[in-house]
Structure 1
Amino acid sequence: MTLFAERGFDEVTIPQIADAAGVSKMTVTNYFPRKEDLVFDQAEATIRSLADAVAARARGESMLTAIRRDCTHRIAAGDVTLGPPGAVFARIVDDSRVLTHRAREIADLRERALGDAIAAETGEDSLRLRVIATQLASVHRALFTETSRRVLAGEPRDAVFAELATTAPRIFDLMEPSLGEFCRRRDLPPGPAEQA
């Protein structure tokens, strides 16, 4: 990251990274198949995050509720899936077409993974359900974009996340009338407390 901050992501080569780390080029590429993975090392977890959140929801819980809870938890934790870890990181990404493209690709893949999870659960893969997946995923995408913009503008990350903690619930409230009942989980057997 120091090299990227000093020279720009696009200007730094894998051999230069390997040399700075004191390892072989092969070692770098074995751990990071794409150069972008050195920056977005949480990409796979980010891509799966929304699909995992809806898969883990409790009986009686809608997909919107599960995604809302997941988002609330991530905001409280200052999770990097909702905003860059700092201004240096944000600047590295913003200054590189390759990295800005990868950030959008990760968001697109997260949305697609959620759509796939909805299709698998409902047994239907339709435009309607893909649009719903887009709506559900849009909050995370918008929060990351807004956080990045504000961190780049010099606002303290903690202050931005504190504001997200107030703003995000209002966004989910607006979605509640149309998606609050969507895919409410009914297929799980009652838990021990429900059986009593």
Structure 2
Amino acid sequence: MARSSERGGPQTRARIAEVAAALFLERGYDAVTVAEIAREAGVSSVTVFNHFPRKEDLFLDRSDDADALLRSAVRDRGEGVDVLTSLRGVASTLVDERHPLSGLDPRSVPFFRTVAGSPALRARAREIAADLQRSLAEAIEDDPTFEGDGMLFAAFFVAGYGTVLVETARRLMAGDDEIGVLADHRARLDRLFDALAGGVAPSP
């Protein structure tokens, strides 16, 4: 493929991520090199690393979106809306939209299988979860209206959400009925938020 212009910012990043995802899903994460991705995307390996410092981030490329959603749920919520209610609304919207961050996107099954088959991707996913926990805790600690333990709340929320996501992934990969999986996903999220409301979240 002829090399295209390596400028373009978000467009270049999106193109690289799209090419990488297609190659990873087709051949498996560990079988694809960054050089192959760069060649297929029409850029240099340096450009790939400028947009994605780690190979794992080429596939797990929504961590920035997740971080922005969490921070916005705390900082941009409506007047009189507490942090827990705001996060619950965000989670519900993700489910309604079948957003990739909900784990219910129609393309999620091959994504989950690729992650499950790669120790490097699983390790990076754990690192991302830890980063998201710290980011949410920082946002909460900057909020004078939150009266609970922000660090503990963030830890429980991120771990709980991840647990719901993993169970949904397991069931989808097993071929369970999608309608039933969706209902259980919503029910588990409800139990998570109810538990947080009765535990480390501030009292109403």
Provide the TM-score with structure 2 as the length reference: 0.76
2:35 to 9, 15, 20: 15
Q: What is the number of residues matched between the two proteins?
A: 181
Alpha carbons 1:65, 1:180 under 8 Å: kept: no
Cα distance per residue 1:40-97 (max 9 Å; x no partner):
2211111232222111222222111111111111111112122163221111111111
1:137 to 146, 151, 158: 158
Q: Does 1:146 align with 2:167?
A: yes
Q: Does 1:177 align with 2:198?
A: yes
1:32 to 28, 40, 52: 52
SS in 2 for 1:178: coil
Distance 2:98 2:181 in 1: 10
For 1:1-196, list aligned pairs within 5 A: 1-83=21-103, 85-122=107-144, 128-155=149-176, 160-179=181-200, 181=202
Quote how far apart the aligned CAs of 1:156 are.
Answer: 5.7
Counterpart AA for 1:95: G
Distance 1:69 1:139 in 2: 16
Counterpart AA for 2:91: C
The 1:111–1:162 alpha-carbon spacing in structure 2 relative to 1, beyond 3 Å, is same
Provide the TM-score with structure 1 as the length reference: 0.78
Q: CA RMSD in A?
A: 2.6
SS in 1 for 2:198: helix
Cα distance per residue 1:2-29 (max 9 Å; x no partner):
3223432122111111223333323322
Q: Percent identity?
A: 34
Counterpart AA for 1:141: G
Distance 2:184 2:200 in 1: 24
Any gaps of 5 or more consecutive residues in structure 2? 1-20
Alpha carbons 1:47, 1:110 under 8 Å: kept: yes
Distance 1:74 1:19 in 2: 34
SS in 2 for 1:163: helix
Deviates more, 1:142-151 or 1:67-76: 142-151
The 1:88–1:156 alpha-carbon spacing in structure 2 relative to 1, beyond 3 Å, is farther
Alpha carbons 1:48, 1:113 under 8 Å: kept: no
Counterpart AA for 1:100: R
Ranked by relative contact order (alpha carbons within 8 Å, sequence separation 6 or more), the top structure is: 1
Any gaps of 5 or more consecutive residues in structure 1? 185-196
Alpha carbons 1:110, 1:137 under 8 Å: kept: yes
Alpha carbons 1:62, 1:180 under 8 Å: kept: no
Match of 1:194 in 2: none
Counterpart AA for 2:101: T
SS in 2 for 1:121: coil
